[in-house]
Amino acid sequence: MNPSCPDTRSDDRPRPTAGRVGALLALLAAVTATVAVAGPEYLWPLFVFPLVVAALYFFELGSLAVTFWLGNYFVFFFSFVAPPTPAAVRQAVLGTALFFLAGLLLGRIQRRHHRTQSELAASSLTDRLTGLYNYGTFTDYLHTEVTRVDRYGGTLTLVMLDLDHFKEFNDRHGHEAGNELLRAVGGLLRSLVRESDVAARYGGEEFAVLLRGDESHGYELAERLRQAVACLTVTVRGEPVSTTMSAGIATYPTGARTETELVERADAALYESKRRGRDRVTIYTGVASEADLPVSLSA
């Protein structure tokens, strides 16, 4: 990797939350203590609760962990508290195996259900090509954030981004290469924006990022994105190809009176970046009451 280019690798693997792990451990401790006090005959009814919780939140791995702990605890209980009889050992082994199979099945069903629900939710909110939010989701979020600023104060910054010469890129390298470039840019945006920000594919080769903060925060992010795209390459017929990105920035409420005007100001700044040579970031510096003030070049 070029040392001047940012490292945008990210690990998207889901991790269980500490709260869920703590709740499961507490439940296991409660069942263990209850069996220790009340006797092993209470284990099988109590086994159900941690097993279901583990399968629902941790899928097959959770079922395995709960069954291993409580199954072995049951065997140890017989070993140290009462003389193990062949019938008791068979009961413990058979019961543990059956509970494990039930938990494994429940965990697998829950995993598939969770994946299906996630895919359905994502398909309605995100752009399938880039994985970013789609235009409709973005406009809904923009309206919500503008309303929040009107009610509680603060500043909202919109960054509009556009790939330079994308039509020529498609004409030269083909539409599949263009799609691959869009997918790669979507991955860059997902890795570089904060969780509190919203990145979306606004349309075609145009993207938008909405963040809480003033234009300095927007400029810092836009510069990182511009530099990352300049370093980005996709392979076409065995050869690496690349492009650049231009950006425009506007803020609410200092630079726009409405959410529609905010988009227009950011678009005007983006156009100015294109007009002045592309591969740069421009901040709109006009105020809401002076609609004809020009944008100013910031990079």
Taking only the tens of pLDDT, the chain with its 299 residues reads: 444 565 544 444 445 567 788 887 887 788 778 877 776 666 667 777 787 777 777 887 777 777 777 777 766 666 556 666 777 667 767 777 777 777 778 778 888 877 777 665 656 688 989 989 999 999 999 999 999 999 999 999 999 999 999 999 999 999 999 999 999 999 999 999 998 899 999 999 999 999 999 999 999 999 999 999 999 999 988 889 999 999 999 999 999 999 999 999 999 999 999 999 999 999 998 644 333 334 444 44
What is the reported pLDDT for 133? 92
The 10 Å CB-count burial string (b at 16+, else e) for 8-34 is beeeeeeeeeeeeeeebeebbeebbee
Spell out the residues 6+ positions from residue 239 whose beta carbon is closer than 8 angstroms to its own: none
Tell me the DSSP string of 7-46.
-----------HHHHHHHHHHHHHHHHHHHHH-GGGHHHH
Residue 219: CB atoms within 10 A of its CB come to 19
What phi, psi does 246 have (nearest 5°)? -110, 155
pLDDT at residue number 77 = 65
Terminal C-alpha separation, the chain = 25
Query: What pLDDT score does 115 carry?
Result: 79
What is the C-alpha separation between 268 and 137, in angstroms, rounded?
22
pLDDT of res. 93: 73
| Omega before 6 within 30 of 0, i.e. cis | no
Q: Is 194 helix (H, G, I), strand (E, B) or coil?
A: coil
| Distance, CA of 228 to CA of 187 (rounded, Å) | 11
**Is 180 labeled as catalytic in the residue annotation?**
no
Report the 3 state secondary structure along 196-211.
CCEEEEEECCEEEEEE
Query: Which of 60, 145, 205, 215 does the annotation list as catalytic?
Result: 205
Residue 108 is predicted with a pLDDT of: 81
* Closest among 184, 11, 14 to 115, alpha carbons compared: 14
Q: How crowded is residue 94: how many other Cβ atoms within 10 Å of its Cβ?
A: 10
Name the packing angle between helices 86-125 and 43-81 (round to 10°).
140
The pLDDT of residue 42: 66
> In 153-278, which residue ranges form alpha helices assigned H by DSSP?
166-173, 175-192, 215-231, 259-275
Tens-digit pLDDT profile for residues 118-127: 665 656 688 9
Provide the token pair at 218.
């927007």
Q: What is the pLDDT, as a whole number, of residue 22?
A: 81
Question: Token pair 């570089």 is at which residue?
Answer: 192
- Determine how many CB atoms are found less than 10 A away from the CB of residue 178: 21
Question: Residue 293's pLDDT is what?
Answer: 38
The CA-CA-CA angle for residues 19, 30, 26, to 5°, reads 10
